[in-house]
Each structure stands twice: as structure tokens, then as C-alpha cells.
């Protein structure tokens, strides 16, 4: 899928403690101990910086899997 490797690689900068190397399309990126408002802000920043796409906090609430996130980026 377009941008799949790029996004999973970029998530390394969103999470500090979680090992993101096992992340795949089905991973629910919010379903872990590290997810909070600051990781959400990191994700907003990274998606803007790496993909030039602006995503709202509301939108992130709607998305669950990495696949859904990539579909949004590729929209």
C-alpha cells in the first residue's frame, strides 16, 4: 500500500517506549499504554511534516488501525 512503510517508519518518532517494528496494517495505533494527548499531537505533527497533510484531533478519534490512517493520508 502506498505510504505504508513510510508511515510505519514515521511512527517511531511518535512513540518513545513502544517497539513499532512489529506494527502492520491491522495494528490499532491508539490501543496501547503510551497513547495520550501528547502522542496524538506528535502524530498530527508527523503527518503534517512527512506527508504534508493536516489531520484534526477529531479525525484521529475516528480512525483506529494503521490501514485507516494510511487511507486518510492517501485520500
Q: Give the cell for residue 46.
A: 508527523
> Is residue 9 involved in binding other proteins (CB under 8 A)?
no
Position among 21, 22, 31, 54 found at the interface with other proteins (CB under 8 A) = 54
Residue pointed to by grid coordinates 513510510: 6
Q: Does the footprint of other proteins cover residue 17 (CB under 8 A)?
A: no
Size of the site for other proteins (CB under 8 A): 15
**Binders of other proteins among 19-38, rule CB under 8 A?**
37-38
Q: What does the alpha-carbon distance between residue 54 and residue 33 come to, in Å, rounded to a whole number? A: 25
Structure-block grid coordinates of residue 31: 490501543
| Cβ–Cβ < 8 Å for 20, 39 | no
Is 46 a binding residue for other proteins by CB under 8 A? The answer is yes
Amino acid at each position: 500500500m502506498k505510504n505504508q512503510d513510510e508511515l510505519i517508519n514515521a511512527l517511531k518518532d511518535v512513540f518513545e517506549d513502544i517497539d513499532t517494528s512489529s506494527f502492520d496494517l491491522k495494528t490499532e495505533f491508539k490501543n496501547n499504554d503510551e497513547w495520550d494527548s501528547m502522542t496524538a499531537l506528535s502524530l498530527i505533527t508527523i503527518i503534517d511534516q512527512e506527508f504534508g497533510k493536516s489531520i484534526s484531533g477529531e479525525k484521529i478519534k475516528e480512525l483506529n488501525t494503521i490501514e485507516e490512517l494510511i487511507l486518510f493520508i492517501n485520500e
